[in-house]
Amino acid sequence: MVTSRWTAAPAQAPPSRRRGAVLERAILEAALEQLGTVGWNGLTMEGVAAGAQTGKAAVYRRWPSKVDLVVDALQAGLPDLTRAPDLGGVREDLLEVCRRVRDAMFSPQGIALRSVLHECDARQAERFNQVIRGRVVEPTLRLLREVVHRGIERGEVRPDAANSYVFDAVPAMMMYRAKVCGSEWSDLDLQEMIDQMMVPLLCVHVGRPA
């Protein structure tokens, strides 16, 4: 009996099927990739499903609409703004808060969020504005309040400086200059804002660095 030297390659097992958090993460990543390549108007649930290598039904079971999916995709990747820095001085703390806000604004998710707002209609824009308020503006204000109140306890900050107008100054300035002036907020820009606006506004005992 002649035995052939050619043998069939062993059958490869099909790739394991993703479920739960692994599949959801793949779908969210595919949605962000679609946003980066085709924008809001070109993004489809079918395209996201293909990018995540899953079926369209798996996407719709978790997110009933494109808005729901993109809101979650953008929120999932935004940098964390929940822990206030404590670096020993109000100037250093304020500068670190501003760096974190800048990183959130110019992260891939932050850039995608702003681009979506330019393409979607007014009703949809309200959902995305809620993401900006809930994940960037309101956390920034909480961090600023914590930093300023800690500065008051240290004796660095005037007690009457803890008011809503002061807390609004940083996010308002950063968003205005990013949107209107095209500033990308380098470290030098942040230092100048802190030293020329916030330190004089807040502090009696803290001056500009030598």
pLDDT tier for residue 108 given thresholds of 50, 70 and 90: confident
Check whether residue 39 and residue 139 sit in a common domain. no
Rounded distance, CA 125 to CA 113, Å?
10
Statement: residue 20 has pLDDT above 90: no
Check whether residue 194 and residue 92 sit in a common domain. yes
- Is residue 36 within 8 Å of residue 112, measured between CB atoms? yes
pTM: 0.78
Strand-pair partners of 157:
203
- Is residue 161 within 8 Å of residue 168, measured between CB atoms? no
> What CATH number should be reported for the domain holding residue 96?
1.10.357.10
Check whether residue 96 and residue 124 sit in a common domain. yes
Tell me which amino acid residue 122 is: A
| Both tokens assigned to 85 | 């820095």
pLDDT tens column, 115-169: 898 899 988 999 999 998 999 999 999 999 999 999 999 999 999 999 999 999 9
| Both tokens assigned to 47 | 């395209």
Rounded distance, CA 117 to CA 152, Å?
38
Rounded distance, CA 105 to CA 175, Å?
9
Check whether residue 119 and residue 187 sit in a common domain. yes
pLDDT tens column, 22-31: 999 999 999 9
